């Protein structure tokens, strides 16, 4: 290990150790090998990072937005130059296969250029006043210091969804990444530094959620918290932030379904289910975790899945022919296996999988792609997020049933329908109550210029990505300019025309 294998905090433009003096190991889940270590911080480090961000905000908010955007364009360039190197670090750090890791870095590249473009937009409204010789407009203002708390499953994409709009809008940032993926955070911050971001605009503080995350949520100097992660943690953040009247944007779990109707293009549906259920080893918030299948095509679908699953090699994601990498850690492996036992006890039928795997020579955390069938909508395996390579088939008899089953979960992130019938398509588009709906495509595949997020237990009404992200990181200011030279009173001095 070299000095660079220790991930350090970045506060006010300096790389430094956290004040706890302790380090955690960064494990490669494909091999169980130690890649390096990450510094652990205390509340004191968070306080210093917030002070640095507060000081930087006083200048950064006054830099014209198109100039702030120049930094984002350079970030995009550097990400593009380093795409392969970053993808390899990403695969080693959290396990997803190289092809998907490249896709994730591409998402950050796209976001950098898209949000760079926002530097020349950040549009508000200009509107006539109801009074003569007066004009009215609205502008987006940065909010101040924002706290970002991100998960390990998309360590650079999600960080890009949050940091790029926050920074282009003129805010300054304190970022706490997941302790499981410290190197991607370090690489991303290094790129911001090289791109010329002034010290203090983006600060990185490593440490556990319960220490560093909570300190950010509770710090009075942090105006906004943008969080992606589990429902449980999101709920506790919302409660604490609510008591402080702090704005919080939450993106949390999903229980996403593909609906396969009796007129579906079956081979396309199978492609989508395999990609959605087993891509990123099922550890995507938009993973396909349920398949709601018309009873008349259920047996055919089961057989097609059984035929295809043995063709998905399991192993180290650095190996280009591997299609399913490891899960993140041993705790996760156990949790997934526990859910499989629950499914069996509930009476669902295990079609394939349901056990750990040891690809030759690898000591990582592997689970076989697992399919349950003949489940009912109220079983726990059909209701709770498993976050592993497990998908559950639920038979139904009509589109109405399918939509009802789709909607009868606590989450509302993504849903998908396979059908050739335009009337069914438009009914589903209207009635599926998730933040994202796909037609004849699987549950994953969001593009960065559209809003990303979910309804019900998945979120709290905010969205990442697209222009919607700016709503999280800006405050509206309405400005009235009166050039009449008299006191004009709205709603009172409006004469008849």
CB of 400 to ligand NAP, least distance (A): 28
Q: How far apart are alpha carbons 98 and 182 in whole angstroms? A: 18
Q: Which of residues 24-43 bind Mg ion (CB under 5 A)?
A: 26-27
End-to-end CA distance of the chain: 79
Q: How far apart are alpha carbons 294 and 394 in whole angstroms? A: 9
Q: Which of residues 27 and 436 has its CB atom nearest to Mg ion in the complex?
A: 27
Residue with smallest beta-carbon separation from ligand NAP: 209
Q: Please, how many CA atoms are within 13 Å of residue 345, restricted to the half-sphere of its CB?
A: 8
Is 251 among the residues known to form the active site?
Answer: yes
Write down the catalytic residue from 100, 187, 218, 251: 251
Q: What residues form DSSP beta bridges with 160? A: none
CB of 270 to ligand NAP, least distance (A): 24
User: Which SS3 state, helix, strand or coil, does residue 411 take?
Assistant: strand
Encoded tokens for 313: 């090699």
Binding Mg ion by CB under 5 A: which of 93, 104, 118, 187? 93
Q: Whose CA is closest to 199, among 351, 12, 3?
A: 12
Residues 160-199: x where in contact with Mg ion by CB under 5 A, - otherwise, as a string: --------------------x-------------------
Encoded tokens for 229: 């992660």
Q: Which of residues 329 and 373 has its CB atom nearest to ligand NAP in the complex?
A: 329
CA distances from 276 to 231, 272, 444, 474, 479 (A): 21, 6, 6, 34, 47
Pairing assessment for the beta strands 366-367 and 356-357 based on DSSP bridges: antiparallel
Q: Which of residues 101 and 305 has its CB atom nearest to ligand NAP in the complex?
A: 101
Q: Which of residues 266-305 bind ligand NAP (CB under 6 A)?
A: 285
CA torsion 256-260-265-268 (nearest 10°) is 30
Q: Which of residues 395-454 bind ligand NAP (CB under 6 A)?
A: 413
Residue 183 as a binder of ligand NAP (CB under 6 A): the answer is no
Binding ligand NAP by CB under 6 A: which of 36, 144, 213, 353? 213
CB of 292 to ligand NAP, least distance (A): 20
Encoded tokens for 186: 């370090």
Encoded tokens for 2: 């070299």
Q: Residue 93 binds what, of ligand NAP, Mg ion, none (CB under 5 to 8 Å, by partner type)?
A: Mg ion
Only segment of 79-87, 184-192, 248-256, 470-478 that touches ligand NAP (CB under 6 A): 248-256
Q: How many residues does the chain have?
A: 497
Q: Which of residues 142-161 bind ligand NAP (CB under 6 A)?
A: 149-154, 158
Is 285 among the residues known to form the active site?
Answer: yes
Name, in order, each residue with C-beta under 8 angstroms of 169's C-beta and a sequence gap of 6 or more: 65, 118, 122, 140, 142, 470, 473, 474
Residue 208 as a binder of ligand NAP (CB under 6 A): the answer is yes
Q: Which of residues 214 and 302 has its CB atom nearest to ligand NAP in the complex?
A: 214
Q: Which of residues 57-86 bind Mg ion (CB under 5 A)?
A: none
Write down the catalytic residue from 107, 285, 302, 385: 285
Pairing assessment for the beta strands 14-16 and 9-11 based on DSSP bridges: antiparallel
Q: Which stretches of the chain bind ligand NAP, using CB under 6 A?
A: 149-154, 158, 176, 178-179, 208-210, 213-214, 217, 228-230, 233, 236-237, 251-254, 285, 385, 387, 413, 458
Q: Which stretches of the chain bind Mg ion, using CB under 5 A?
A: 26-27, 93, 180
Active-site residues, by number, are 251, 285
């Amino acid at each position: 290990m070299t000095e660079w294998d220790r991930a350090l905090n970045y506060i006010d433009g300096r790389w430094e150790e956290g004040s706890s003096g302790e380090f955690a190991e960064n494990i490669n889940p494909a091999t169980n090998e130690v890649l390096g270590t990450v510094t652990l911080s205390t509340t004191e480090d968070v306080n210093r990072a917030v002070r640095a961000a507060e000081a930087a905000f006083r200048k950064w908010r006054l830099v014209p937005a198109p100039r702030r955007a120049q930094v984002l364009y350079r970030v995009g360039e550097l990400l593009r130059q380093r795409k392969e190197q970053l993808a390899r670090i990403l695969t080693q750090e959290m396990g997803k296969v190289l092809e998907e890791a490249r896709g994730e870095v591409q998402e950050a590249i796209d976001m950098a250029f898209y949000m760079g473009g926002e530097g020349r937009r950040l549009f508000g409204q200009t509107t006539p006043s109801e009074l003569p010789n007066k004009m009215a407009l609205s502008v987006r203002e940065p909010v101040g210091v924002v706290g970002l708390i991100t998960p390990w499953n998309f360590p650079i994409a999600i960080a890009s969804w949050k940091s790029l709009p926050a920074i282009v809008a003129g805010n300054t940032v304190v970022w706490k990444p997941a302790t499981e993926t410290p190197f991607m955070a370090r690489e991303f911050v290094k790129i911001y530094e090289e791109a010329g971001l002034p010290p203090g605009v983006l600060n990185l503080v490593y440490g556990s959620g319960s220490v560093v995350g909570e300190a950010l949520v509770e710090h009075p100097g942090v105006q906004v918290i943008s969080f992606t992660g589990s429902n449980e943690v999101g709920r506790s953040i919302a409660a604490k932030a609510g008591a402080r009247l702090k704005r919080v944007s939450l993106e949390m779990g999903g229980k996403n379904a593909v609906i396969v109707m009796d007129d579906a293009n079956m081979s396309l549906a199978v492609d989508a289910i395999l990609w959605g259920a087993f891509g990123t080893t099922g550890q995507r918030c938009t993973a396909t975790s349920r398949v709601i299948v018309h009873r008349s095509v259920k047996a055919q679908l089961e057989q097609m899945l059984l035929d295809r699953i043995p063709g998905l090699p399991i192993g180290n994601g650095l190996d280009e022919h591997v299609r399913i990498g490891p899960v993140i850690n041993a705790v996760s492996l156990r949790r997934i296996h526990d859910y499989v036992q629950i499914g069996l006890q509930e009476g669902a039928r295990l079609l394939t999988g349901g056990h750990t795997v040891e690809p030759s020579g690898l000591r990582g955390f592997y689970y076989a792609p697992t399919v349950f069938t003949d489940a009912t909508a109220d079983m726990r395996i059909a209701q709770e997020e498993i976050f592993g390579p497990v998908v559950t088939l639920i038979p139904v008899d009509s589109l109405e049933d399918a939509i009802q089953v789709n909607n009868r979960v606590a989450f509302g992130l993504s849903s998908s329908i396979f059908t050739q019938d335009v009337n069914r398509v438009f009914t589903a588009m209207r009635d599926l109550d998730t933040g994202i709906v796909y037609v004849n495509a699987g549950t994953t595949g969001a593009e960065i210029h559209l809003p990303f997020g979910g309804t019900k237990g998945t979120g709290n009404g905010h969205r990442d990505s697209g222009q919607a992200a700016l709503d999280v990181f800006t405050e509206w200011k309405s400005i009235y300019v009166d050039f009449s030279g008299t006191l004009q009173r709205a709603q009172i001095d409006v004469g008849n025309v």
